[in-house]
């Protein structure tokens, strides 16, 4: 395994073949790397833009080993890959970011405890392993509170609000009676995120904060740089990202979802140890976007400059929003990005658009 910067022509492997893997593959190709994709689906979006794709179950250790042995470095595009799988891959190649980033973020209780351990604040929370645990958890968090599965939840799935004690049994049933976390309500004025990158030497660079709007638990729109953010708030976000990145010993891009309580106060909602939907605006508004930055970090290259040259509003194309592709492609103000998914369905992210504007002075 090479410890120095990877030369163009090296092979970078990506575990996962969804839209994030697709955009990473395109960024890697731009820098001269051969990108190999490993996914259970041979027709996944990333496979169709990569130099080579490997299709096998995540549990097929032999296939994972063969894939990893062909790669000079390996990364992953989503956090729900089994830790065992990445451990098998890491034994055969250089894994960036490491398995620790997954171990700390796959379980919401582990994640919250880690965040607090590095001196960063979250909402109050409590583990819930059964219906009988909810009264004590509610006493700790107060109401309203959000009950979430500890693992595998995304885009609003596996969540239920508890607004009165009488809601507890129904919420527990709604999430499938799985091990859970109860989180107190944040009382935020808006949702923000900071997308940052950490290099192998520990340096951290971040893009400006984005302001995010969710609908039905799915990100709908990000505006960046977020309006009304002063230098102190941006510095605090970078401080939080640096503490978390250092604590994970992370190499690559990661995102921190934040609750803005007003008055310069931020709470961390969760960490995504990968490129992130709220960083898609960087593809058209920055000289170095999040996908190129991640490839740079994985390859051991110097990090690029995250300074934006434009402001942007990123809007996700969800489900049949994508049917308007012709009109969007005809709009000179729109930068259209489609993910190559074969079928649109409700709640599925099919693409996104970026609308640029001059930066405010």
Q: Is residue 2's pLDDT more than 80?
A: no
Asked whether residue 176 falls in the same domain as residue 194, the answer is no
Asked whether residue 174 falls in the same domain as residue 267, the answer is no
- Over the chain, what is the mean pLDDT? 96
Give a three-class secondary structure readout of the chain: CCCCCCCCCCEEEEECCCHHHHHHHHHHHHCCCEEEEEECCCCCHHHHHCCEEEECCCCCHHHHHHHHHCCCEEEECCCCCCHHHHHHHHHHCCECCCHHHHHHHCCHHHHHHHHHHCCCCCCCEEEECCHHHHHHHHHHHCCCEEEEECCCCCCCCCEEEECCHHHHHHHHHHCCCCCEEEEECCCCCEEEEEEEEECCCCCEEECCCEEEEEECCEEEEEEECCCCCCHHHHHHHHHHHHHHHHHHCCCEEEEEEEEEEECCEEEEEEEECCCCHHHCCHHHHECCCHHHHHHHHHHCCCCCCCCECCEEEEEEEEHHHHHHHHHHHHCCCEEEEECCCCCCCCCCEEEEEEEEECCCC
In the prediction, which pLDDT does 157 show?
76
In the prediction, which pLDDT does 4 show?
85
pTM listed for this prediction: 0.96
What's the CATH code of the domain at 336?
3.30.470.20
Is there a domain that residue 5 lies in? no
What's the CATH code of the domain at 40?
3.40.50.20
Q: What is the pLDDT of residues 269-299, one digit of tens each?
A: 999 999 999 999 999 999 999 999 999 999 9
Asked whether residue 63 falls in the same domain as residue 170, the answer is no
In the prediction, which pLDDT does 309 show?
98
Is there a domain that residue 330 lies in? yes
Asked whether residue 200 falls in the same domain as residue 267, the answer is yes
Q: How many domains does the chain have?
A: 3
Asked whether residue 251 falls in the same domain as residue 337, the answer is yes
Is there a domain that residue 6 lies in? no
In the prediction, which pLDDT does 217 show?
86
Domain finish residue from 135, 165, 184? 184
Range of the domain at 44: 11-95
Q: Is residue 3's pLDDT more than 70?
A: no
Asked whether residue 220 falls in the same domain as residue 316, the answer is yes
Is there a domain that residue 290 lies in? yes
Q: What is the pLDDT of residues 220-230, one digit of tens each?
A: 999 999 999 99
Is there a domain that residue 238 lies in? yes
Is there a domain that residue 119 lies in? no
Q: How confident is the model at residue 156 (pLDDT cuts 50, 70, 90)?
A: low
Asked whether residue 225 falls in the same domain as residue 88, the answer is no
Asked whether residue 236 falls in the same domain as residue 326, the answer is yes
Q: How confident is the model at residue 234 (pLDDT cuts 50, 70, 90)?
A: very high
What's the CATH code of the domain at 130?
3.30.1490.20
In the prediction, which pLDDT does 256 show?
98
Is there a domain that residue 108 lies in? no
In the prediction, which pLDDT does 172 show?
97
Asked whether residue 128 falls in the same domain as residue 271, the answer is no
Is there a domain that residue 111 lies in? no
Q: Is residue 361's pLDDT more than 90?
A: no
Asked whether residue 165 falls in the same domain as residue 198, the answer is no
Asked whether residue 133 falls in the same domain as residue 224, the answer is no
Domain finish residue from 52, 77, 95? 95
Domain finish residue from 167, 184, 201? 184
Asked whether residue 338 falls in the same domain as residue 207, the answer is yes
Q: What is the pLDDT of residues 130-155, one digit of tens each?
A: 999 999 999 999 999 999 999 976 66
Please compute the mean of the pLDDT values over residues 27-56 and round it to a whole number.
Answer: 98
């Amino acid at each position: 395994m090479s410890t120095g910067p990877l030369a163009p022509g090296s092979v970078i492997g990506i575990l996962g073949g969804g839209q994030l893997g697709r955009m990473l593959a395109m960024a890697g190709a731009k820098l001269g790397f051969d990108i190999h994709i490993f996914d259970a689906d041979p027709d996944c979006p990333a496979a169709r833009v990569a130099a080579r794709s490997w299709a096998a179950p995540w549990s097929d250790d032999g296939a994972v080993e063969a894939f990893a042995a062909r790669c000079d470095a390996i990364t992953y595009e989503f956090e729900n890959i089994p830790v065992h799988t990445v451990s098998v891959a890491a034994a055969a190649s250089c894994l960036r970011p490491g398995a620790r980033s997954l171990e700390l973020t796959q379980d919401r209780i582990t994640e919250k405890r880690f965040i607090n351990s590095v001196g960063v604040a979250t909402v109050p929370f409590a583990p819930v392993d059964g219906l009988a645990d909810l009264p004590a958890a509610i006493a700790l968090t107060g109401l309203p509170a959000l009950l979430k599965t500890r693992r595998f939840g995304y885009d609003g799935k596996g969540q239920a609000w508890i607004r009165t004690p009488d809601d507890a049994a129904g919420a527990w049933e709604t999430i499938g009676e799985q091990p859970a976390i109860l989180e107190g309500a944040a009382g935020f004025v808006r949702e923000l995120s900071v997308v940052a990158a950490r290099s192998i030497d520990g340096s951290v660079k971040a893009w400006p904060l984005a302001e995010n709007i969710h609908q039905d638990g799915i990100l709908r729109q990000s505006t960046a740089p977020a309006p009304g953010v002063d230098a102190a708030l941006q510095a605090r976000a970078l401080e939080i990202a640096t503490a978390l990145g250092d604590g994970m010993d992370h190499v690559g891009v990661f995102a921190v979802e934040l609750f803005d309580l007003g008055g310069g106060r931020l709470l961390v909602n969760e960490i995504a140890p990968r490129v992130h939907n709220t960083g898609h605006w960087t593809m058209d508004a920055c000289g170095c976007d999040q996908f190129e930055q991640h490839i740079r970090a994985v390859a051991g290259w110097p990090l690029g400059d995250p300074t934006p040259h434009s402001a942007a509003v990123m809007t996700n194309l969800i489900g049949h929003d994508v049917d308007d592709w012709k009109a969007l492609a005809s709009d000179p103000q729109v930068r259209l990005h489609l993910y190559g998914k074969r079928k649109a369905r409700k709640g599925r992210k099919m693409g996104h658009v970026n609308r640029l504007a001059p930066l405010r002075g």
